Chain A
Amino acid sequence: MCLFISGLCLSNTSGAIEPDLSNWQTLEKQASGQTVYFNAWGGETRINRYLVWASKRVKTLYNIDLRHVKITDTAQAVSRIIAEKQAGNSERGAIDLLWINGENFSALKQNALLYGPWAEVQPNFSLVDADRFPEMREDFTIATEGFESPWTRSQLVFYYDSDVVTNAPGSIKELLQWAQDHPSEFTYPRPPSFLGSTFLKQALLELAQSSEPLYRHVEESDFALVTAPLWKYLDALHPHLLRSGRYFPLGSADLRRFMGDGETSLAFSFNPNEASLGILNGELPESVRSYVLDGGTLDNVSFLAIPFNAQHKAAAIVVSNFLLSAEAQARGSNQEYMGSTSVLSMQKLSSEFQQLFLGTAKNLAAASAEDLDRKILEPHPSWTTALERAWIQRYGAR
């Protein structure tokens, strides 16, 4: 018992050393020997395997111990940071690096819970060519201002069972007609789940008279007026959904399962490789194919951020820089590992590094590269919250 109590009191007293951002060599020296606790979603074995590989590499290259803290929801990490702040822990934070984007980033930054700016200090930041690709400096329209560093890209893709479906809808408007012709073969996750809210945004962007107000704060426009076409659309769509719209699934996993069980024949995901991974895992039939809507689909970049009180900031920056390297990004785009889309700009890479990416052949079930070029930027995050609230108000209680 006494041992137990003294164990509780043993607190690591070494505070954080401010990283020297002016000199990369000094920073690498500071980073050497540190341990980086990287909080990242742990729900995919491939991602976990990728991070095991990455931690071996940073150990060899920089003498950094990279530990993957597997979380199920970014909210867990956010909760921890808030708790630490509330308790006055400003330099011994338990999280060094965090996989994040969109609303979570906006919330943390607004409440001064992030460290920065640091992202553009990284030598590899130039590889993303942020001047040509503004989305590398903008997360859901919020300027990142160097508080987070790009890591991977994702895009909304639709997938269907080609054994059953021959005419997959090419737009949100066509989807309504398609659902009427194929009753109960489609559904979408309930907001405020990430994917459910994404569906609402995608639909609104296409249905709204102009998408321009969506890129400003929601309070600057007439919400009811802008969203009226969306509600009219959903009112018409719901009776034709799975379970006649009396039930909405939880997230992408449910959509995948409904398709695998033959309940639905059209679904969507924010992971362009959802279908190919699903087939590989035996969750989806081999006849599944993916595509992007004719007018393009929502696309976003996810980032790495460092909490304001992280204990090992220098090493976190060095790890982030490594994850942004051509070597790491190429490995990440490999199907056996992350299977994600790289954030690097090919033109910025030497031909030797470009070769690394060519080896990653595309799967038949995945969306084609031309498809994935049709991108729509994420609206302002205030719209997400407002749409979620409005949806729950209208449909949340039957």
Chain B
Amino acid sequence: MLRWISFAVIFLLAAPVLIGTLIAGLPAFGYFPTLGSESFSLAPWQDLFEVPGLLKSIGISLMAGLLTPLIALTLVFLFLASASGSRLDKWIRRLVSPLLSLPHAAAAFGLAFLIAPSGLLSRLISPELSGWERPPDLLIVNDGWGLSLLLGLIAKEIPFLLLMSMAALPQTNSVERVTMARSLGYRPTIAWLKTVAPGLYALVRLPVFAVIVFASATVDVALILGPTLPPTLSVMILNWFNDPDLSYRFLAAAAALLQLCISLSAIGCWIALEKFSSLLWKIWINTGDRSTLEPLCFIAGRFGMPAVLLLTAGSLMALVLNSFAGFWRFPDLLPSSWTLRHWSGSIAELATPLANTLIIGIVATSLAIALVLSALEYERRRGLKMSMAMWLLYLPLLVPQVVFLFGIVVFAESLQLQANLPLVIFGHLLFVLPYVFLSLSEAYRHLDPRWSQIAATLGASSTKSFWRIRIPLLLAPSLTAIAIGMAISISLFLPTQLLGAGRITTITTEAIALSSSGSRNLIAVWSVVQLLLPMLGFIAALFIPRLLWRNRAGMKEIQ
């Protein structure tokens, strides 16, 4: 059965992904019979390399892909090192769910409204402190170096990495290790960084890769915060693909393959960086230094990440204010009038999209978690690492969505599949599965094998120990993976829209359709609507284990 499921994963998912990518990629080599081009050529690549500013675009994508995970992960680790178990830690844990549930575009939009020359922060000091009666003419949002883009990405990825780290932390024996190191005279933050950080990193490595790929290829955040002259490569691809002049599709396909290479190069650079850091870590540990960096690390940890989270919380606040705001002139700190109209106008026909969102999310995530658990359990029993075909499942995250989905639609159409709910669910599965996999796999692989061995010597079959031992012990990371899968499914726009031929409406398709008006108030309303469902999921993922294991102190530190 398990073997069958593992093959099913490969044939049902990897095959369409591969074929879809191939179909989408062919125009890059001049082949696109529907547009009358039936011979191969390298012209699209020549055109691509003549695009003005291409190198700068690539540079910014690479920079975002590397600096986002580097800074976000550093801040998260320093925070965990300096604040684990503190009251601040408890507060932050409560804050994670809503911040993580904020859709990327909404977070970016909220941040833009916070830091723009006419934004909330500027209003705070205007006109009294700054003397600004009108917004200053400063290029803050959409700056040419992509700094606001970087800030937006860091702010959005910190909650993700924090949640993944929190889910993995119980497996690292952190309390015991820190206690041990402290008894040897290490200051607490240094002790954590030297004894817990390397093991924890191994557990969150795949999620970090996901961050690299997302940051180097993001469209929605880059559209709102990224540079414009030139924009990031991902935005250029979207523009070319959407251009009424269909000949741009060749260019878009070539650029999509280039984007794939850029994301892969970013991962390559990151792996080199890993090697370098691990060397640094070894040297640092070997020095035996117990306290030199403690004050610096402590302060950076206590203030760095919370400051960024505060910024995101501020963006969320700004969105909520906007959803009730009437006209809101600069430099007023608050709107001159309040209204419920943005809400009442939007919420009227919510029932169908809500039902669709739930059905698609629940079915796609259930299938994903079942497939992922089967694959991981198969891998555990066979003692083998995942086969190469499983890596194909990451392609949907690597190839730009518009281009990839075009290939998938062609593939589905040639199989004569109707644009209906099951097809949309299947499309969601392609994106949900990799996230569920990368959220859960390291935790699963790192579970102490002695638990299963003890269970076996007590006469428990593999099935019994799977349900009675491994699932309960991994309940927290499994629920987190489910919540992430749900959140991903809820947030998907293009797969729903393109595979469902627009006939299947979800919260997100409605939100994006109405947001295309660009009304700040409507965007705010729908961001809040979009945020609620995943937030419930994340809250459940955090609290169900606590509730179930409230009398099981050992579950906080699974060994």
Q: Which residues of A contact B (CB under 8 A)?
A: 1, 4-5, 7-12, 37, 39, 41-45, 67, 69-80, 82-89, 92, 94-95, 102-104, 106-107, 111, 183-184, 190, 192, 242-244, 246-248, 250-254, 256-257, 260-263, 281-286, 381, 385, 392-393, 395-398
Q: Report B's interface with A, CB cutoff 8 A.
A: 8, 12, 23, 33-36, 52-53, 56, 116-118, 134-135, 137-139, 142, 144, 223, 228-230, 239, 241-246, 325-330, 335, 337, 339, 341, 345-346, 363, 367, 402, 406, 409-414, 416-423, 425-426, 497-498, 501-503, 505, 509-510, 512-522
Question: Are B420 and A104 within 8 A (Cβ)?
Answer: no
Contact B244 A102 (CB under 8 A): yes
CB <8 Å contact, A44 and B52: no
Closest 9 CB pairs of A and B: A253-B518, A397-B53, A87-B413, A103-B244, A94-B501, A7-B422, A42-B513, A69-B502, A75-B242
Determine the residue in chain B with the shortest Cβ distance to A396. B52
Assess the A79–B498 pair: CB atoms within 8 A. yes
CB <8 Å contact, A72 and B513: yes
**A397 and B521 within 8 A (CB):** no
| Other 5 A-B pairs with CB < 8 A, given A45-B346, A244-B137 | A37-B502, A76-B242, A78-B244, A263-B118, A263-B134
CA distance A261 to B521 in the complex (A): 13
**Which of B243, B327, B418 is within 8 Å of A282, CB to CB?**
B327
Contacts of B497 in A (CB 8 A): 71, 76
Contacts of B419 in A (CB 8 A): 94
Known: A69-B502, A82-B34, A82-B35. A1 touches B367 (CB 8 A): yes
Report the separation of the CA atoms of residues A229 and B355 in the bound assembly, to the nearest whole angstrom: 56
A190 / chain B contacts, CB cutoff of 8 Å: 228-229
Given contacts A42-B516, A70-B502, A70-B509, contact A111 B246 (CB under 8 A): yes
Partner of B519, one of A80, A89, A283: A283
How many pairs of A and B residues are in contact by the CB < 8 Å rule? 213
Complex contact A283–B520 (CB within 8 A): yes
Partner of A44, one of B335, B414, B501, B517: B517
- Contact A72/B518 with A107-B245, A247-B139 known, Cβ cut-off 8 Å: no
Partner of A9, one of B35, B230, B417: B417
Tell me whether A262 and B505 are in contact in the complex, defined as CB-CB below 8 angstroms, given that A247-B139, A392-B52 are known contacts: no
A-B contact pairs, 23 of them (CB 8 A): A10-B422, A11-B416, A37-B501, A41-B516, A45-B517, A76-B502, A83-B410, A85-B34, A86-B34, A86-B413, A92-B418, A94-B503, A192-B243, A242-B137, A247-B139, A260-B329, A262-B134, A263-B134, A282-B327, A285-B327, A395-B229, A397-B230, A398-B144
A43 and B513 in contact (CB under 8 A), knowing A8-B422, A282-B521? yes
Q: Give the contacting residue for B229; candidates A8, A75, A398; CB below 8 A.
A: A398
Q: Are B33 and A396 in contact (CB under 8 A)?
A: no
**A111-B34 in contact given A8-B422, A87-B413, A261-B135 (Cβ < 8 Å):** yes
Out of A71, A253, A262, which one reaches B517, CB within 8 Å? A253
Contact across chains for B228 and A248 when beta carbons are under 8 A apart: yes
Interface centre among B243, B413, B423, B510 (most CB of A within 10 A): B413
Please give, as numbers and ranges, the residues of chain B lying within 8 Å of A257 by CB-CB distance.
518, 520
Q: In the complex, which residues of chain A have a beta carbon less than 8 angstroms from the beta carbon of B239?
A: 192
Known contacts A42-B513, A111-B36, A283-B519, A246 near B503 by CB under 8 Å: no
- The answer to whether B327 and A283 touch across the interface, beta carbons within 8 angstroms, is yes
Is there an interface contact between B35 and A111, defined as CB atoms closer than 8 Å? yes
Nearest CB in chain B to that of A395: its residue: B229
Known: A1-B367, A69-B503. A281 touches B519 (CB 8 A): yes
Q: Which residue of B lies closest to A79 (CB)?
A: B406
Of the candidates B33, B243, B346, B509, the one having the most CB atoms from chain A within 10 angstroms of its own CB is B243
* A73→B242 contact, CB < 8 A: yes
Q: State which of A4, A102, A250 has its C-beta within 8 Å of the C-beta of B367.
A: A4
A365 to chain B, nearest CB (A): 13
Query: Which chain B residue shows the least CB distance to A89?
Result: B413
In the assembled complex, the Cα of A87 lies from the Cα of B244 at a distance in Å of: 21
What separation, in Å, do the CA atoms of A263 and B140 have in the docked complex? 13
Task: Tell me, in angstroms, the Cα distance from A10 to B505 when the chains sit together.
Answer: 20
CB nearest neighbor in A for B54: A397
- B505 contacts which chain A residues (CB < 8 A)? 70
The minimal Cβ–Cβ distance linking B89 to chain A, given in whole angstroms, is 38
**Looking across the interface, which residue of chain B has its beta carbon closest to that of A77?**
B502
Select the residue from B52, B244, B411, B522 with max chain A CB neighbours within 10 A: B244
In the complex, chain B residues whose CB is within 8 Å of the CB of A92: 416, 418
**In the complex the two chains form, is B229's CB within 8 Å of A80's CB?**
no
Q: How far, in whole Å, are A136 and B245 apart by their CA atoms in the complex?
A: 23
